[in-house]
Amino acid sequence: MVIGFALWGVAITEWAAILSITVSLFGGLAWMFQRIVVKPLTDSMNNLTKQLEESSADRKLFA
């Protein structure tokens, strides 16, 4: 008698391992994307906003 559950010949513990590896992989990829793309873009936008605010303040002084 076999106790347990298998889907497509894969045991539930193997499914759990596959799921945890997949979640870890996608979590790592999301973290890398955030560090490589999102953070530099956000920093660049913040710098541009700061420069525009300074430029606007300078124009008000000389107007």
Instruction: State the DSSP code for 9.
Output: T
Q: Which of 1, 12, 47, 4 is nearest to 55 (CA)?
A: 47
> Which tens digit of pLDDT belongs to each residue from 12-58?
889 899 999 999 999 999 999 999 999 999 999 999 999 999 988 88
pLDDT the model gives residue 32: 98
* Model pLDDT, residue 1: 45
Of 43, 22, 21, 40, the C-alpha closest to 32 is 40
pLDDT at 42 (0 to 100): 97
What's the confidence (pLDDT) of residue 29? Answer: 98
> Does residue 48 contact residue 41 with C-beta atoms inside 8 Å?
no
Tens of pLDDT, residue by residue over 2-21, are 556 677 788 888 989 999 99
Q: How far apart are CA 14 and CA 9, in angstroms?
A: 10
Domain boundaries, the chain: 6-62
Q: HSE (CB half, 13 Å, CA atoms) of 57? A: 6
